[in-house]
Chains A and B, each alone.
Chain A
Amino acid sequence: MIETPSGSAAGPLWHLIALSSYQRPPQPTSEAVRQRIRGFADHLRRPITARVFRPEANLVEVPDALLDQIAAQPDPAMLLPAVGQMLEGWLASPNPVAPVQLAVSAPFSWLPEALALWARERGFWQVQPPTPQEILDGGHTWLQQFDRRPDGPLLIPNLERLYLRHQAGLSLLQRLVEWLSIQQQHCLINCDSWAWAYLCKVIQIDRILPEPFTLAPCDEPFLTRWLQAPAAGQGQPDFVFRQANNGRYVLAPIVSGAHELSRETTDFLRHLAAYSRGIPGVAWTLWRSSLQYGDEQNLTEKALESAREDRNRTIWVQPWSELDLPRITTSDQSRIIILHALLLHGGMTTHTLAGLLPLSTSEVTNQLQRLKNTGILNQTGLHWQVRPGAYPAVRELLARDGYLLDVM
């Protein structure tokens, strides 16, 4: 579990803000220039495709037990205090001014899971999404459950699962939104940011539903607090995080329960915050893949000298410029529209994807497999989704080619 350093007096770590206030952490100018040059060079090179991205290739000999300690899988429950601060007052009010509360969450932000957890603890009725076929049939049977709904608050955890980008795939959601617009009981809705952007364009959903809130972006100060290994109180030594090429601190070491902010740190976290677009799941994935421990073959003399006193508790972090980040420069139209469709729907199965695109099932299958082999997609059973570490590269590709993007 990744937690804030104990005794930190800096206040709550996670915040919810209005979606209109969301601003991506700024990218260092040098990195922006470097990426532009590299992107241009990639376009000139053959073949025009995605390089194989293997995040684990960055990792050198970090024992699993250690990795679970310093970069464990985050628990969405860490967002509960922020969710409570936003929604407890609303829930407690018997006749709220705004009965419907809407959250828009970026992929890999853990906000949907946190909202579901918070709602479950308070007895919300959670709506299960319809099947794709039910959506295409208009969802009449599925919608009838709302007439028989139990009293009490309602949660729709994934609004993006209630539509398909298909001529027949919008009517269910349109009817549900009309129903929501006249509700007086508490309704909590979460929608993926990509689906939100699409639905705003296509059915002007933002004119019917209230202004959404979202998770505040994870900037450099946030990452500094969040990524420090939770060693305090566990009887374990505090780890220090140094950059592998110069020995400088990536995270200021903890002294007496607080970050020793007077120590100069590298700009690694600033790069990480900008590249991950403030999305915690993306930042965590890349952070985890940048760590190395024990193998000092690739370390410089300067780095080793700097870590002379705390070498046995030093976690080395690869310099940002040397991280193996995915770059996709494909001009294959089929591949691009597949990636876009997956983001608009928060992932889907091969069969459903083929039904939405002007491609045969075999072509979709081949492309999905190629994208999986190059480390861009993840497959869980029949379900395909963009991998968190590849998300910024996929978004960059879609932005370059002029496809609809989310606001985050």
Chain B
Amino acid sequence: MNGETSTAQLLRSIQDIHFVRIVVTLALAWLLTALIERGTPQLANRLPGRMRMFILPYIPVTRLAIQIIAIGVVLTQIVNPSFESLVTILGAAGLAIGFGFKDYVSSIIAGVVTIYERPYRPGDWVEIGGVYGEVRSIGLRALKLVTPDDTVVTIPHQLIWNESIHNANDGLRDLMCVADFYLHPENDAAQIQQTLKEVALTSPYIQLDRPVSVVVHEKLWATHFRLKAYPIDSRDQFLFISDMTVRGKQALARLGAHPASIPPAIQEQASPRQ
């Protein structure tokens, strides 16, 4: 008897629940969310790069706001607004989370945290758990990355609790690209440095407002040159790296620079025999 009374007090009576309103609310929320999730990236991809990077980060925020409002509206339709009702609902939720939905809820909470802390946002190029790609969308539980090989990887948000997130552009249009060259140690390193810098400066993809640098490391079997520069748009990073690499090789050949010769022992380490 008391249990039945409690349930009745928790929930509104059937005749007081506006099912039509609930269905309409959920349908509207679903429609808006779908529009935003599908339409906004399409719109953003048509816009110039600057506007694209401005619009994309707002997708998860807007979606979350719609979902919260929809859940709030639905709950007020079903639940009697009282302190006892709230305690009952939270208690039930806590029980469910503790038993079966721990990881799921952990990911959802992590998803909310990412919206405010912004370790990544749509349009960012990130590496999480060894996977590098562009953040295509951020859902409530997981994000979707598109790798350079056009593979979509779904990564639960809860990884942010324990893993580091490497973000290459952090909401900006440009990100540093690196082209590596391994040359014989007897080459003129200063001349090669200057040549590679000119290779970057004469690329059609380069962002000339950002610096260009060539970092030189001496290895046992080669001199490692790292040509670092920024493309105008992060989506062109692979075109840019390819352009720098191809023209860099051509320039080094014109210079007469000798490539590195890798000792057999090093080759063995890199690719051991089966």
Contact = CB atoms under 8 A, between A and B. Distances in A.
Interface stretch (B74-82, B91-99, B127-135, B197-205): B197-205
A403 B46 contact: no
Contact of A402 (B48, B199, B201, B204): B48
A151 B45 CA distance: 59
Contact of B46 (A43, A201, A341): A43
Interface-central residue, B47, B236, B239, B254, by most chain A CB under 10 Å: B47
A400 interface: yes
A277 B236 CA distance: 30
B208 A404 contact: yes
Interface in A176-205: 198, 201-202
B173 A402 contact: yes
B251 A168 contact: yes
B145 to A, nearest CB: 22
B254 A168 contact: yes
B170 interface: no
Interface in A30-89: 40, 43-44, 48
A401 B46 contact: no
Nearest to B252: A167
A358 B239 contact: yes
A402 B208 CA distance: 10
A169 B198 CA distance: 10
Given A170-B202, A333-B236, A358-B239, A201 B208 contact: yes
B262 interface: no
A165 B202 CA distance: 5
Given A170-B202, A404-B208, A44 B48 contact: no
Interface residues of A, number: 26
A357 interface: yes
Contacts of A169: 202
Interface in B43-86: 43, 45-50
Interface of B: 43, 45-50, 173, 195, 198-199, 201-202, 204-205, 207-209, 232-233, 236, 239, 242-243, 246-247, 250-251, 254
Given A44-B43, A202-B201, A400-B48, 5 more contacts: A40-B47, A167-B199, A168-B254, A331-B45, A358-B246
17 contacts: A44-B46, A165-B204, A167-B198, A167-B202, A167-B250, A169-B202, A202-B201, A331-B46, A333-B239, A356-B202, A358-B204, A358-B242, A400-B48, A401-B233, A402-B50, A402-B232, A403-B232
